[in-house]
């Protein structure tokens, strides 16, 4: 028997392993993370809402606006504890799979209204609301495929099938008058179909490219950290083809790093020979970077396509980053804003880049921290 045929039978022929992240994620419960971490607003967009963080609780006052997650979601499980005061006169609605950040709320569930009755849509059903005003309540929304259901305090309150929209934004519509305060804590989301690529304990799944990773990389407090000392970039042990890659990163003042996509083992991403691409990570606010070329700022496909607008947060704050790759198409979502969509039609250089390869995290001689690294299939 030929060696290649034997490898195929054994499932060891490398190109077949990563052709679809779906093969990894099938039947997986998903990646669970804190949508509100109790310390800052990383991962959330706040519009026309007065919010504060008190004792790991998100307090919302004097609001007539929207709170939404940075990412769009297809299949997910959302859970949180919530509180409304007795005799509250405000309103609170959860929306999901929305197309315009709370402006097209076809799918929603009204958590609270002074008139009572949790109106939900589609269908404008009246749910048997069992909230406890003046006490903490637990909310759970599950949406998988064309089905969704809501549980409040462990009891099923709404069940719907036949949903047509398969993905969109997730968040809250708030109408809260002065002198009232609604509250959220312990908010988690399970991203169904996503799997972790960093376990928060060690470098399993990653390796130093050509040198020992521990020269500059370490895991501390569940964070993946590069101290910027002389050492290698970090390479995934598995290659990938089409995928959605999500992560959070933190830079110090003047920080510089990058995410390599579909690179060969040597990490080539500049177009010399077989090459992947780099998505830039940079402290755009630092004065030393004032006169860079447009494609050198955060979120850009480095040296090819420029990101716009620039939405990186100040040094020391955490940022969210989502990179979607399908064939020669790349989309970058930075802190909840789509800052780049590029393909080989608009940027012919992308047509010459690899369509499968390794992920990489760059050591650019500057400290950088990563957390919540996960990968899923595109919808």
pLDDT in tens, 177-227: 988 999 999 999 999 999 999 999 999 999 999 999 999 999 999 999 999
Radius of gyration of the chain (CA): 22
For the chain, give the percent of residues with pLDDT over 90. Answer: 75
Q: What is the pLDDT of residue 24?
A: 44
Q: For residue 154, with 0-12 CB atoms within 10 Å meaning exposed, 13-18 middle and 19 or more buried, which class applies? A: exposed
- 21-76 pLDDT, tens digit each: 454 445 558 999 999 999 999 999 999 999 999 999 999 998 899 999 999 999 99
Q: Are 122 and 147 in contact (CB under 8 A)?
A: no
Cis peptide bond prior to 176, omega within 30° of 0 = no
- Residue 270 banded pLDDT, cuts 50, 70, 90: confident
CB 261 within 8 A of CB 293: no
The stretch 338-363 carries a mean pLDDT of 97
The three-point CA angle 371-377-379 to 5° equals 120
Q: Please state the CATH superfamily assignment of the domain spanning residues 197-376 in this structure.
A: Exo-inulinase; domain 1 (2.60.120.560)
pLDDT of residue 20: 44
Q: How far apart are the first and last CA of the chain?
A: 39
Question: What CATH fold (topology level) applies to the domain 29-192?
Answer: Jelly Rolls (2.60.120)
Contacts of 312-316 spanning 24+ positions with Cβ under 8 A: 312/282, 312/283, 312/284, 312/285, 314/285, 315/251, 315/252, 315/253, 315/254, 315/255, 315/283, 315/285, 315/286, 316/250, 316/251, 316/252, 316/253
pLDDT single digits (tens) 234-258: 999 999 999 999 999 999 999 999 9
Structure tokens given for 131? 């909230």
**Do 197-376 and 29-192 have the same topology in CATH?**
yes
The confidence score (pLDDT) of residue 99 equals 86
d(CA 88, CA 176): 9
Closest CA to 322 of 213, 233, 202, 194: 194
For residue 7, name the pLDDT band (cuts at 50, 70, 90): very low
User: Average pLDDT over the chain, rounded to whole?
Assistant: 89
Three-state SS letters, the chain? CCHHHHHHHHCCCHHHCCCECHHHHCCCCCEEEECCCCCCCCCEEEECCEEEEECCEEEEEEEEEEEEECCCECCEEEEEEEECCCCCCCEEEEEEEECCCCCCCCCEEEEECCCCCEEEECCCEEECCCCCCCCEEEEEEEEECCEEEEEECCEEEEEEECCCCCCEEEEEEEEEEEEEEEEEEEEEEEECCEEECCCCCCCCCEEECCCCHHHCEEEECCEEEECCCCCCCEEEEEEECEEEEEEEEEECCCCEEEEEEEECCCCCCCCCCCCCEEEEEECCCCHHHCCCCHHHCCCCECCCECCCCCCCCCCCCEEEEEEEEECCEEEEEECCEEEEEECCCCCHHHHHCCCCEEEEECCCCCCEEEEEEEEECCC
The whole-number pLDDT of residue 17 equals 32
Total-model pTM: 0.90
Question: Domain limits of the chain?
Answer: 29-192, 197-376
Q: Which of 127, 38, 131 is nearest to 83 (CA)?
A: 131
Mean pLDDT of 272-280: 90
Would you say residue 304 has pLDDT above 90? yes
Contact 181, 134 (CB under 8 A): no
């Amino acid at each position: 028997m030929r060696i290649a045929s034997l490898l195929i039978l054994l499932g060891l022929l490398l190109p077949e392993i990563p052709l679809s992240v779906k093969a990894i994620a099938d039947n997986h419960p998903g990646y669970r993370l804190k949508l509100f971490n109790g310390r800052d607003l990383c991962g959330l967009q706040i519009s026309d809402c007065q919010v504060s963080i008190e004792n790991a609780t998100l307090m919302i006052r004097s609001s007539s606006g929207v709170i939404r997650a940075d990412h769009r979601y297809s299949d997910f499980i959302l859970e949180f504890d919530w509180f409304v005061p007795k005799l509250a006169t405000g309103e609170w609605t959860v929306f999901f799979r929305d197309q315009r950040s709370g402006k097209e709320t076809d799918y929603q569930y009204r958590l609270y209204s002074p008139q009572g009755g949790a109106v939900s849509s589609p269908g404008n059903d009246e749910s048997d609301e069992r909230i406890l005003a003046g006490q903490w309540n637990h909310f759970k929304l599950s949406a998988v495929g064309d089905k969704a259901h809501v549980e409040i305090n462990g009891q099923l309150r709404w069940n719907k099938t036949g949903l047509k929209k398969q993905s969109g934004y997730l968040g809250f519509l708030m109408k809260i008058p002065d002198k009232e305060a609604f509250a959220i804590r312990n908010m988690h989301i399970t991203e169904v179909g996503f799997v972790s690529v960093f376990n928060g304990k060690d470098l399993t799944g990653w390796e130093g490219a050509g040198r020992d990773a521990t020269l500059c990389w370490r895991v501390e407090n569940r964070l993946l950290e590069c101290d910027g000392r002389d050492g290698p970039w970090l390479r995934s042990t598995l290659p990938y083809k089409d995928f959605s890659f999500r992560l959070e990163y933190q830079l110090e003042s003047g920080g510089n790093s990058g995410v390599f996509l579909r690179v060969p083992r040597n990490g080539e991403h500049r177009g010399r020979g077989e090459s992947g691409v780099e998505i830039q990570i940079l402290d755009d606010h630092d004065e030393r970077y004032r006169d860079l070329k447009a494609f050198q700022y955060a979120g850009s496909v480095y040296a090819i396509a420029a990101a716009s607008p620039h939405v990186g947060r100040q040094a020391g704050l955490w940022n969210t980053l989502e990179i979607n790759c399908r064939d020669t198409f790349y989309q970058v979502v930075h802190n909840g804003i789509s800052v780049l969509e590029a393909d080989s039609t608009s940027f012919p250089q992308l047509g010459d880049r690899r369509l499968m390869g390794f992920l990489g995290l760059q050591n650019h001689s500057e400290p950088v921290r990563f957390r919540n690294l996960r990968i899923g299939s595109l919808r």
